Amino acid sequence: MAVVQMKRLNIVALTKDKNAILRRLQELGTLEIHMNVDKLKSKKKLKNLTQQDTSNERAMYDKYASISEQAIEILDKYVEEKASLLSSLAGQPLVARSEFIRIEDNQEKIAKRAGQIVSWEKQITEANAEIQKKETQLEALVPWMGLDIPLNTPGTKRTKLFLGLIPENLTQDQISQRILEDNKTITAVDVEVVFTEQDTVYVSVVCLNKDAQAVEEALRKMSFAAPAIWSKYTPEIKQQRLNRQIAEKKEEIDAAIAKIKEAAVDRQDIKMVSDYYRMRAQRYEVLGMLPQTDKTIAISGFAPAGIAESIAGEIEADYGAAVEVIEPKAKTKTPVLLKNNAVSESVEGIVASYGLPKKGEIDPTVVTSIFYIIFFGMMLSDAGYGLLMAIALGVILAKFKDMNPGMRKSLKMFFWGGISTIVWGLLFGGFFGDAIGVFSECFGNGQTTFDGFWFNPIGSPMQLLLWCLVFGLIHMFVGLGINGAMMLKRGDVVGFVSDVIAWYLFLIGLIVLLMSSSIYASMAGTVPFFKDIDLGTTGLYIGLVLAVVGGVIILFMSGRRKSNVGMRILLGVYDIYGITSWLSDWLSYSRLLALGLATGAIGQVINMICQMLFLHNYQYGAGGAKGAIIGGILFFVVFIVGHVANMAINLLSAYVHSNRLEFVEFFGKFYNGGAKEFEPYATETKYVRFAKSK
């Protein structure tokens, strides 16, 4: 349960060593660079500080990295890399230092290869566009295949030819009649329907040159339109030319694809060079942030206290730089890095999603992990489901050592949740619902059952509810206690008494009063453990005293920062009204009951259906061995599908509601969060991990 202490490193080095130092710091990945250059420039002695414009270099390396990534995507498109279902969990492969040096020495050659792959893909794209264009022309040519003259033929010396389409289903005679009926001056016109489709006719119209204008006007009235394709060749020759051009483009595509497939052997090199260029771009981005003079450069930032001195020693020894390691000022907001044990670190992502602890706040990760894992298991509460989770995730975690750290922590969280689920399942008697009893009835002697080592929630829901409320009360009281610990750490004794001890007294008093009442007696009834708690009249008096003392302290001390007595009391009354919020939060823990019962009840229903299918086929269906086989197959199909679905739904519910109990009911009592996460200047790669130089 710790926030790693940070130290500030200040480095002043010669400008000639800046690239080497930045490269080494990037490899180490332990320093978060944090500099306020404007503040430095405001000092008279440092007003001549400058910052190097590295935008061109950054843009160049980003461009190279982008081209390399495009090349990788193209290779993946045409030559898919063989990968297992779980390969995404394997993490980035570690590349030896010698390989890194080889990539650095051959970067231009590899980048050129990546550029070629991108250009080949561009050729393929352009060729496909040309093919599509020519196929469209072929479609437009189909209606005119009956013509034996070029489509752009204007006519003869004495005649005019009109080729086009009319969006109406007309015959030759109807078209001729419409042309002639309004134009008595037309000497002669020849109409031929070349092609007909649905409500459109494709026609050729020939007339004398002197009648061309009148014929054109008549055709326009019929919405006459020119062909979609225009050519100096006859339709047959044009079709042949288009087919030949399409074949040529397809050959170009095949050739380009073949080249891309040949280049697949360079895939790993291109991946590494992409990461190399991204590292270079990142380095230039940082370089552009740093203040410089003609001969020196300054670097400042935060590093974990445990390794700050070793970083300083290495930079001093290797580059002759001046380095100091100092404690950050009290008011400085340092970045936050959490360090917890192997179990607790699994919920660091949950804490971080709410907000990292600010200065003065306690890291809640350890306590959160305890309750989170307990509540997760209690909500899923089936030993069979937990066993599947624990085995599957245990194997994955053991096999994939280089998995992404964030993913690894998340899977570990579900692994520990699976262990907790096994424990609660054994306590409550849940193993794939009541599968042990059902299997015994269908395939055994019918005598074997498993009711759990504690009690069965489905048979004793009130007992589970009371225990859920007990766990919830402990959870909230721990949160209140952590708030008190932080107050004492700040030296706020008055706040500790007024805002923590007073609430403990008030709440415990009310609970004792409740347990001394008939309401509690009716709830406890015959519930084991709870039925034996009888506080009697003594409990009533103790509860009353505690509640009154706590309430009075809250009433008069909640508004202690106000000088006006009336305002202080009003604020106290308002704070006491906050008991409704406590009650609401407390009742939220009934979700442990609801989800725990849901998992078990749905599991039992699935098993009941399986049992009915088996017995129906065995006793009333096919009967005998055949019935047993059919029933057994149906049994196991429904059993597997049903329990997988039940497990998936309730696993998601357990995750969501466990988060809710931590975020609202627990963190709401003491925790704000919102600190900045430690983000060191480090090698950020997409495909591989480069080994550090010694």
Name the least confident of 62-71, 266-275, 329-338. Answer: 329-338
pLDDT at 585 over 90: yes
Q: Are strands 94-95 and 50-51 parallel, antiparallel or unpaired?
A: unpaired
Q: Give residue 166's pLDDT.
A: 95
pLDDT at 694 over 80: no
Of 662, 686, 495, the closest CA to residue 591 belongs to 662
The answer to whether position 557 is within a domain reads no
Q: How far is CA 320 from CA 16, 26, 294, in A?
A: 12, 18, 17
Contact 115, 216 (CB under 8 A): no
- pTM value is 0.85
pLDDT tens for each residue of 645-666? 999 999 999 999 999 999 999 9
Q: Give residue 371's pLDDT.
A: 97
If you average pLDDT over residues 51-78, what whole number do you get? 95
The answer to whether position 198 is within a domain reads yes
If you average pLDDT over residues 423-430, what whole number do you get? 95
Q: Give residue 605's pLDDT.
A: 95
Tokens of 492: 């706020």
d(CA 428, CA 604): 13
What DSSP element (H or E) covers 668? none
Return all residues near 470 (Cβ < 8 A) that are at least 6 apart. Answer: none
Contact 236, 150 (CB under 8 A): no
pLDDT at 680 over 90: yes
Cβ atoms within 10 Å of 345's Cβ, excluding its own: 19
- The residue with greater pLDDT, 159 or 578, is 159
Type of residue at 448: T
**Taking phi first (over 0 means left), then psi (-120 to 50 degrees means alpha), and beta for anything else, what does residue 223 get?**
left
Q: Give residue 234's pLDDT.
A: 92
Return all residues near 167 (Cβ < 8 A) that are at least 6 apart. Answer: 199, 200, 223, 225
Q: Please, what is the Cα angle at 644 between 638 and 650, to 5 degrees?
A: 125
Contact 51, 37 (CB under 8 A): yes
Q: Transcribe 161-191 into DSSP letters.
A: EEEEEESS---HHHHHHHHHHT-TT---EEE
d(CA 313, CA 32): 17
End-to-end CA distance of the chain: 32
Contact 619, 627 (CB under 8 A): yes
Contact 387, 604 (CB under 8 A): no
Residue 454's pLDDT band (cuts 50, 70, 90): very high
Q: List, in sequence order, every residue forming a beta bridge with 33; answer none if it has no partner.
A: 301
Contact 631, 621 (CB under 8 A): yes
CATH of the domain at 179: 3.30.70.2750
Residue 302, CB-side half-sphere exposure with 13 Å CA sphere: 19
Which structural domain range is residue 156 located in? 152-226
The answer to whether position 414 is within a domain reads no
d(CA 73, CA 118): 10
pLDDT at 41 over 70: no
The answer to whether position 257 is within a domain reads no
The answer to whether position 217 is within a domain reads yes
Of 551, 481, 479, 480, the closest CA to residue 513 belongs to 551
pLDDT at 84 over 80: no
If you average pLDDT over residues 205-226, what whole number do you get? 93
Tokens of 687: 């495909």
pLDDT tens for each residue of 226-236? 998 888 999 99
Q: Please, what is the Cα angle at 23 between 22 and 24, to 5 degrees?
A: 90
Q: Give residue 624's pLDDT.
A: 60
Q: Please, what is the Cα angle at 569 between 565 and 571, to 5 degrees?
A: 115
Tokens of 485: 């610990």
pLDDT at 45 over 70: no
Question: Looking at the 3D structure of the chain, how many domains does it have?
Answer: 1
d(CA 549, CA 535): 20
What DSSP element (H or E) covers 208? strand 200-208
> What average pLDDT does the chain have?
91
Q: Give residue 46's pLDDT.
A: 64
If you average pLDDT over residues 579-595, what whole number do you get? 93
Residue 622's pLDDT band (cuts 50, 70, 90): low
Q: Give residue 693's pLDDT.
A: 72
3-state DSSP assignment of residue 51: strand
The answer to whether position 183 is within a domain reads yes
pLDDT tens for each residue of 221-264? 999 999 988 889 999 999 999 999 999 999 999 999 999 999 99
Q: Give residue 425's pLDDT.
A: 96
- The residue with greater pLDDT, 57 or 450, is 57
> Side by side, which strands form the sheet with 189-197?
159-166, 200-208, 189-197
Contact 353, 677 (CB under 8 A): no
pLDDT tens for each residue of 318-361? 999 999 999 998 888 899 999 999 999 999 999 999 999 998 89
Cβ atoms within 10 Å of 58's Cβ, excluding its own: 18
Phi, psi of 522 (to 5 degrees): -70, -35
The answer to whether position 352 is within a domain reads no
The contacts found for 559-568 with CB under 8 angstroms, 24 or more apart, are: 560/494, 560/498
Residue 636, CB-side half-sphere exposure with 13 Å CA sphere: 6
